[in-house]
Amino acid sequence: MSRTQVLSSSLLACLLGASALLAGCVPKTNIYDAYALTEARRVAVMPGLGAPGPDGTNAGTAESSLLITSLAGLDYYQVEGPGRIRKAAKAGLATRPATSRSLQAEITDRLDIDLLVLADVTDYRFTKQWRSASWFVGSSQWTETTYWAGVDMRIVTPDDGRIVYSGSGSASSRRGYGPALQQATGKALAELARFLADAKARRAKK
Amino acid sequence: MAGHWLRILAAGLLAASVAGGCAAKGPAVFDKPAIDNIHALAVPPLQSPQDPSAGALVSGMIGVRLQSARLPELSVIEPPVLWRLGGGPAGAMTDEDALRIAREMGADAVLTGTVTYGVAFVADSTTPRAMRESMKARDFQRDFGARKATTSVNLRILSVKANRAVYAHTGAAGGGEGSELLAKAVQAALKPFEDYVRTSR
């Protein structure tokens, strides 16, 4: 290979690399504040919202419970539901609106809650398909049901509302809504789980 | 000579496409100098008269979308979420309320608007006739009907400093169901804003 050929192939490789970077091949992360995520000790999962449409009305409650269990399973934070916040907010909400920044900051500060977890179920529906098969001695007909679930979650700081993590996941299952929602939640949490496992390992090394 | 006729034909086609509505409609309000001053955007729940959860759901999608897009010098602020304890966002929010929330949170602007979401059941003709006839019409539609949803997302960005709307645009989508449909409408409503912020900073 001549020197010119070597130079031109290196140049081509450089150009390809640069164009890949410019085209957005740099890995994207959903972690926006690593410090806030690693330093937090106690997080509260707020009530989730159900998906629009006829099936998803109560899906938000199911998702909140699932998220409490899943986050606790990461073994990094002390995870709690909205119970203590609800109790503490009762008196404050009589005099101030639910959109009051100072009320939210006061309550979470008093209860020592570092981060709030919000989860919304974006998809919660099923589809049925008619199936039939012909056999040598006859035919059979049956229906197949597929359950679909989608989850959007974000973790925010309670005093200034900064988003420190966001994740989304969707899944389908033939067995029911439970497995679909569980898989979708797992996907939404996947990056956070990896990040916190690394943080725990780093902490253990020190 | 042929070139002359081709030019006339091209001009005619262009005029016809514009008259026929092929030209993309831009935002109803698009105050670019005011948008230049927006660096922190609060995204409270949108209004949704038909389905109470849809508005809050879409505002969450917008928050995640804008944050993960990492638009230059623009951060998303989640307004207080104590309303979730009561089961859903309370009533319609006035522009004054929205601006107050943005001010309290230290945001430069607030995103408000409305979402409509409706689902219609369409009979699926691929299922056997005997089965269709053996079930009650309502049960059959619920279990086997293809669902066709339509949605529209009407967004307005209010500037705290200018005390007025600096961006207003609507996105609509239809045909399918679920979050993909909402995401399509959100994308259409936000695209001019995102493109401008991405290229101007």
Q: How many CA atoms lie within 13 A of B129 on its CB side?
A: 0
Determine the angle formed by the axes of helices A83-95 and A101-110, rounding to 10 degrees: 140
Whether B158 has its CB under 8 Å from any CB of chain A: the answer is no
CB contact under 8 A, A28 and B68: yes
- pTM for the complete prediction? 0.83
Supply the CATH number for residue A183's domain: 3.40.50
Q: What range defines the domain where residue A70 resides?
A: 26-123+150-205
* Averaged pLDDT, A187-200: 97
Q: Quick check: is A138 in a domain?
A: no
pLDDT at site B196:
97
Provide the number of structural domains found in chain B.
Answer: 1
Residue A8 lies in a domain: no
Q: In this structure, is residue B20 part of a structural domain? A: no
Cα–Cα distance measured from residue B196 to residue B201, given in angstroms and rounded to the nearest whole number: 8
Q: Is residue B93 part of a domain?
A: yes
The pLDDT > 70 percentage for chain B reads: 76
Give the pLDDT confidence score for residue B15 in this predicted structure.
54
Q: Residue A114 domain-assigned? A: yes
Mutate to test the interface with A, among B84, B150, B181 (most CBs of A within 10 A): B84
Q: Is residue A183 part of a domain?
A: yes
Residue B6 lies in a domain: no
Q: Which of A181-185, B48-52, B119-123 has the lowest mean pLDDT?
A: B119-123
Mean pLDDT of A83-102: 91
Structure confidence by residue, pLDDT tens digits, A93-125: 889 888 899 999 999 999 999 999 999 999 998
pLDDT at B129: 73
Answer yes or no: is A21 within a domain: no
CB-CB under 8 Å, B179 with A150 = yes
Residue A45 has pLDDT above 70, yes or no: yes
Which has the higher per-residue pLDDT, A184 or A205?
A184
Identify whether A145 is part of a domain.
no
Instruction: Residue B80: give its domain's CATH number.
Output: 3.40.50.10610
Q: Touching check for B178 and chain A: CB below 8 Å?
A: yes
Give helix A59-73 / helix A177-205 axis angle, nearest 10°: 30
Residues forming beta bridges with residue B118, ordered by sequence position: B150
Q: What are A12-40's pLDDT values in tens digits?
A: 655 655 555 555 555 578 999 999 999 99
Q: Is A49's CB within 8 Å of B104's CB? A: no
* Domain limits for position B178: 26-200
Write the single-letter amino acid at A198. Answer: D
Q: What is the pLDDT of residues A131-158, one digit of tens each?
A: 888 888 888 888 889 999 999 999 999 9
Bridge-based pairing state of the strands A115-135 and A138-156: antiparallel
Please say if the pLDDT value at position B21 is more than 50.
Answer: no
Q: Any idea which of A23-32, A83-92, B7-16, B82-91 has the lowest mean pLDDT?
A: B7-16
- Sorting pLDDT into bands at 50, 70 and 90, what band is B20? very low
Domain count, chain A: 1
